[in-house]
Amino acid sequence: MGQASLVSDSSRHSIVEVSEFRKSYRKQLAVDGVNIAVRRGELYGLLGPDGAGKSSLMKAIAGVMTFDSGNIDVFGTRLNSEAASETIKDLIGFMPQGLGLNLYPDLSVEENINFFARLRLVDEQELLERKQRLLAMTRLEKFRQRPMKQLSGGMKQKLGLICTLIHQPKLLILDEPTTGVDPVSRRDFWTILATLLHEQQITALVTTAYMDEASRFHHVSLMYAGQILAEGKPDQICAMIPGTTLMVQTDEQAKAIQLLRQHFSQVQPDGKWIRLFVDDMDADTAIDRVRTLLSALKLEAVQKVDTELEDAFVGLLKRQALATVKDDAKVESADLNFAELIARNSDFVAIETCELTKDFGEFRAVDSVSLRVQEGKIFGLLGANGAGKTTVIKILTGIMPPTKGSGSIAGADIARLGPSIKQRIGYMSQQFSLYMDLTVIENIMLYAGIYGLRAKEARERCHWIGEMAGLSGDIRERTSNLPVGMRQRLALGCALVHRPRVLFLDEPTSGIDPVGRQHFWELLFELSRSEGVTILLTTHYMSEAEHCDHLGLMHAGKLVADASPEALKREVENEAGQLLEIAVSDADSAIQRLTEIGFKNSEMYGQHIHLMSKTPQQDAYRIREELNGLQVSSVRILDLSMDDVFVYKIRALERLADTGLKRMDR
């Protein structure tokens, strides 16, 4: 790479320009011929699964990684040497992927901030002012002296953002800052970022694997397998796939899915509903078509919903033949001899805990958790990082004993889980429970041996797992060479090798692309509905929470909500009202005005404003009147999402806790 060459900034409209960028690692081509342009003041999103090439591109733009060919211009400087990168480093703030990876675990919150400030030669007086403001914005003020290693995942990411911002860069480069972070911290993170972009007129380039975050960006590029699949405004990308997204509800869900998949390629269970995309049809035609196909079934509802970016992403992949979804995976009948141990009926409780508690020294990780999961149901355990979800799973699977309380799995006391009952349990841990240096078949045979399967049965299960996970052609492939989605399906197969009746999955779809997640959930649905396997899982994807039959919400070790997704939404609507979305030309001025007239829960959500209202029709009219002159283009009533429910519930508990602390201080 040669000397830096300057490109006249006056001739450019973009702060970042990338043309024909290529990067390979030995023989593996990671990014192939990518072109993007990031304009000044823009919030630009790179969306895609792990392995799409996002991080490689971000590191090259940040000037911390070399590349094979192409050009990168940042602030008018062509990054073709280390010297060139040095000339713009003070204008850039780069936050790498991973929870707190740019921080020092043994330093306190304040010590980390001070270290980065001095590294960036920030004036002491400016440091005091910036630190105070950023700590207040991130709600980390009262944790100044806490070591970084004792922070939750969301708190680590907010501290990382402070350290990235402390020298007031003009360009923020954030690599998956919200991956693995709970919804409340994610919402906080985006609010802080939107405020900073408005107040300081900075530009931000952000990667994410969460498709539901797309609406927050001014401009989006979808990446897949090292290439740009599509780019534009989020609504423009959704419009690239002509068709209609429908939601269907019927008591005969499994039959309906089977019938619909004979005609449509995008069909997936969504809790009690079925979500499908009908190509090249308007809403009325699509609804008539679905009603005709399901005429033999009793339909409760067929309705049109907005097409989301994930629908468009999957559609684009299929149209360009970049990914396919297998036909229905047929899950072989699980161990039907289990009927001799329990009476199989819809009321049988497969998982139950009573006042389950776990202490680590003086720290209480799980606090009197009582829950019941019926056989054949999918139970989602939600909560922020550190809420106690993983600890509950480890207790239920016999990995660690409880401090007090009791529980049962498949009718057996967890305190006395013998080999015969442990054979009925499958567990897929938060980290990949696979051996990367082994091949696919070697991993499967290893787990078959651990569970005591005979050679013939092990071979049969190996064949089934290969078919189920779409790995039949890759059984001799080393596991480390598989894409993330295939690894997760292999891990699921290994957890199912012994045909368990109860399955525990700890964040099983983290990092998987939308097609892979759809396939994974199809497998879970088949297991629960057709074979009666009980599934308890954790997830940070709130869209996946919609798929569960029942949800438990944990906070600070306690189970604070326990109901179906629909019931939780109704509960929040009864308490806080319905969700209003406001599209307005000057969102920041609008929020200030809305706050002044009493809408204190107003917050930025992408390019729109969201707020809760108990009288939505009247408030919609009032909002238009109060914001007259700010060009309000629409005020819409939206259905609550599980993300909205989670954030509302947790914030209410945090306010309650803060109120209690203030009373104690008095």
Q: Tens of pLDDT along 457-466?
A: 998 888 888 8
C-alpha 72/C-alpha 265 separation (Å) is 39
Q: What is the pLDDT of residue 111?
A: 96
Per-residue model confidence (pLDDT) at position 60: 95
329 burial type by CB count under 10 A (0-12 exposed, 13-18 middle, 19+ buried): middle
Classify domain 242-306 at the CATH class level: alpha beta
User: Is residue 228 classed as helix, strand or coil in its secondary structure?
Assistant: strand
CATH number for the 567-665 domain, one of 2.60.40, 3.30.70, 3.40.630, 3.30.1140? 3.30.70
**What pLDDT shows up at residue 615?**
94
Whole-angstrom Cα distance, residue 417 to residue 415?
6
pLDDT bucket at 9, cuts 50 / 70 / 90: very low
Q: Residue 540 has which token pair?
A: 């940070």
Quick check: 45 and 219 in contact, CB under 8 A? yes
Give residue limits of the domains in the chain: 5-235, 242-306, 336-563, 567-665
Q: What token pair was written down for 598? A: 């009493």
The CATH code belonging to domain 5-235 is: 3.40.50.300
Same fold, 242-306 and 336-563: no
Residue ranges with strand state E in 361-413: 363-374, 378-383, 404-409, 412-413
Annotate 610-639 with DSSP letters as a single string: EEEESSHHHHHHHHHHHTTTS-EEEEEEEP
Selected residue with higher pLDDT from 300 and 486: 300
Contact 229, 315 (CB under 8 A): no
What's the pLDDT score for residue 420? 66
3-state secondary structure of 358: strand
Q: How many CB atoms lie within 10 A of CB 222?
A: 25
Query: Is the pTM here over 0.85, yes or no?
Result: no
Nearest CA to 646 out of 153, 154, 184, 157 is that of 184
Output the CA–CA distances (angstroms, integers) from residue 660 to 119, 151, 158, 656, 657, in the order listed: 39, 22, 25, 6, 5
Report in angstroms the alpha-carbon separations of 509 from 200, 336, 486, 488: 36, 28, 11, 7
Q: How far is CA 540 from CA 427, 530, 576, 592, in A?
A: 18, 26, 23, 31
**For position 432, what pLDDT does the model report?**
63
Percent of the chain with pLDDT over 70: 91
Fold entry, domain 336-563: Rossmann fold (3.40.50)
Stretch 547-569: mean pLDDT, rounded?
A: 93
Higher pLDDT, 299 or 480: 299
3-state secondary structure of 96: coil
User: For the segment 181-195, what is each residue's pLDDT rounded down to a tens digit?
Assistant: 778 888 888 888 888
Q: 575-602 pLDDT, tens per residue?
A: 999 999 999 888 878 988 999 999 988 8
Q: Give the pair of three-digit tokens for residue 215.
A: 């609406």
Find all residues with CB under 8 Å of 626, minimum gap 6, and list them: 593, 594, 597
Helices (H), 452-513: 455-468, 484-495
Which residue, chain included where needed, has tokens 């993983």? 390
